[in-house]
Structure 1
Amino acid sequence: MNAQTPRPVSSPAGTPSQRLSPHFSLAEMTHSATAARRGLKNTPPPAVIEVLTRTAERMEEVRKALGDKPISVLSGYRSPAVNKAVGGSPTSAHMTGHAIDFICPGYGTPAQVVAQLRASPRMGGFDQIIEEFGEWIHIGFGPGQRGQVLSARRSGGRTVYVPFGTGQ
């Protein structure tokens, strides 16, 4: 990815190559392997593209907090059909463009990334940062602004959330 100036929305649905921020495009913020595999539409409406643009700008701050290491977005926007297909929460912030699941292998493990983000002064004003199953990080910038830093684990066939760093 190269650092380009974000382009304005060029059509009501945006274009896949549209830059939302210097390091994040609309295509990567809406990519879904599940949608592609199942033939599900995952095109956000214009209002969600506006939210995704703000989320991408916040992800630039995440990147800076991680020493400007590249971030790989695993899941960004999810249409309601895609969210249901992946087993997401019916109130998932992914459906409004407020949440991103990502990894940053150049920085370290998901736990190391979460520890750095929790300690970084750049990270004020977030809703949740969740180290999920030791595999990726979920970050939400939704309107709740709860400032929660959690770990997700499977227990008895269910996902349980505990405060990050409490031994799990």
Structure 2
Amino acid sequence: MTPLTEHFTLEEFTRSDTARILGIVNIPAPAIVANLRRLAKFNELVRLQLGGAAMVISSGYRCPALNRAVGGAGNSAHLDGLACDFIAPAFGTPMDICERLNTSTLQFDQLIIERVGGAVWVHLGIAAENKTPRRQVLTIDSRGTRIGLWK
């Protein structure tokens, strides 16, 4: 395992069942690894907001082929190693997580509660280096993309 921070490894940000099944090589370039390190450091701050609850990363870096395979947006922050999707069951539901992070002072770029089929998770993005975080809060579900957190 390649540690990025105390609680996060490079492997958990690059692991993908879809990539494995489709034979897609999902190895980030050094500049993207640097972004993933920044994201992992930010996630350490998120863990503190969640009372130290472990974060289970379901998606981190996606190479272009993997991003296409999973139906990701062409401008997804996942492509640059600036976003991850996660849950933290020991803290609560994805909505609980989003509500907590939304009321924090953390300077995220995007905080999205995503609902696809029966699955629900948190998408958390950070701004590129030297860019101002937008603190954009969204809901993405069967009704589309909406501003704010919608239950």
Asked whether the two chains share a fold, i.e. TM above 0.5, the reply is yes
Report the identity percentage.
Answer: 41
CA RMSD of aligned residues (A): 1.3
Query: Are residues 1:83 and 2:67 paired?
Result: yes
> Structure 2 counterpart of 1:145, which letter?
P
Aligned to 1:34: 18
1:96-135 alignment, distance < 5 Å: 96-121=80-105, 123=106, 125-133=107-115, 135=120
Partner of 1:72: 56
For residues 72-130 of structure 1, the C-alpha deviation after alignment (integer angstroms, 9 at most, x for no partner) is: 00000000000000000011100100000000011111101000011122x1x211000
Query: For residues 150 and 88 of structure 2, what CA distance do their matches in structure 1 show?
Result: 22
Gaps of 5+ in 1: 1-16
Which residue of structure 2 aligns with residue 150 of structure 1? 138
The DSSP-based 3-state class of the residue aligned with 1:78 is coil
Cα gap change, 1:69 to 1:36, in 2 (>3 Å):
same
User: SS at 2:25's partner residue?
Assistant: coil
Shift of 1:163: 2.4
Give aligned pairs, total.
145
Aligned partner of residue 20 in structure 1, secondary structure = coil
- Say whether the 8 Å CA contact 1:131–1:164 is kept in structure 2: no
The answer as to 2:125 corresponding to 1:140 is yes
**Equivalent AA in structure 1 for residue 137 of structure 2:** V
TM-score, normalising length: structure 2: 0.92
Normalised to the residue count of structure 1, the TM-score between the two structures is: 0.83
Structure 1 Cα separation of the partners of residues 148 and 20 of structure 2: 33
- How far apart, CA to CA, are the structure 2 residues paired with 1:119 and 1:37? 39
Aligned residues of 1:126 and 1:147 also touching (Cα < 8 A): yes
Shift in CA distance, 166/131, structure 1 to aligned 2, threshold 3 Å: closer
- Given that 1:99 and 1:142 are in contact with CA atoms closer than 8 Å, whether structure 2 keeps it comes out as no
- The structure with more radius of gyration: 1
